[in-house]
Amino acid sequence: MPHATETVIVVMGVSGSGKSTVATLLAERLNVPFAEADEFHPPANIAKMRGGHPLTDEDRWPWLRALAGWISERGMRDGGVVTCSALKREYRRLLIDASADVWFLHLAGDRKLIADRMRHRSGHFMPPELLDSQLADLEPLQPGEPGMVADLAASPGQIVTDALDALTARAKETDQ
């Protein structure tokens, strides 16, 4: 009988912070399913961002609810890893409420490094010009929220190792 206690990890941060890169590796290491938040956006949201316009709360709520559905489903199975900008605390609240054990990995760091990475990647719809609007909306993960903050300047392998260490330490704490 499935029970809603499996950990679902949300790799969060602004556009270009490395969510897809880190989350893919983390899901591989944990051998759990992976989902990409951009695949949950309605086409109108993607078109809006591609056109250089930031999303509003109203644009984001239906997308966040769709992601919450995935989190809920995975929590009842064997967990999972999902990317999501999850920029605001109220967005994260919705995702936390989707399942019993939701844990955030916030990729945070230097604006210039993120901008450089966005400029040098190819084939992505998100214009680097939207980075400042993402940073303006960002409410960083707070100590009272479940998860950890990682410096996005580190290698993806190092970030994943640190996240796995934190998850192991946390599992030991809850076992005691």
Query: Does 60 participate in binding ligand GCO (rule CB under 6 A)?
Result: yes
Minimum CB separation of residue 105 from ligand ATP in Å reads 12
Query: Does 17 participate in binding ligand ATP (rule CB under 6 A)?
Result: yes
Query: Does 80 participate in binding ligand ATP (rule CB under 6 A)?
Result: no
Nearer to ligand ATP, 101 or 162 (CB): 162
Query: Does 163 participate in binding ligand ATP (rule CB under 6 A)?
Result: no
AA letter at 137: D
Give the three-state DSSP class for 74.
Answer: helix
Q: Are 108 and 17 within 8 A, CB to CB?
A: yes
Q: C-alpha distances in angstroms, 13 versus 4, 93, 169, 176?
A: 25, 15, 23, 32
The only residue of 12, 87, 105, 163 in contact with ligand GCO, by rule CB under 6 A: 87
Q: Give the tokens for residue 81.
A: 């890893």
Q: Order across the sheet with 34-35: list the strands.
A: 34-35, 80-83, 8-12, 102-108, 147-151
Query: Does 114 participate in binding ligand GCO (rule CB under 6 A)?
Result: no
Footprint of ligand GCO on this chain (CB under 6 A)? Answer: 15, 37-38, 55, 60, 85, 87, 126, 134
- Would you tell me which residues interact with ligand ATP (CB under 6 A)? 13, 15-21, 38, 83, 117, 121, 124, 126, 152, 155-156
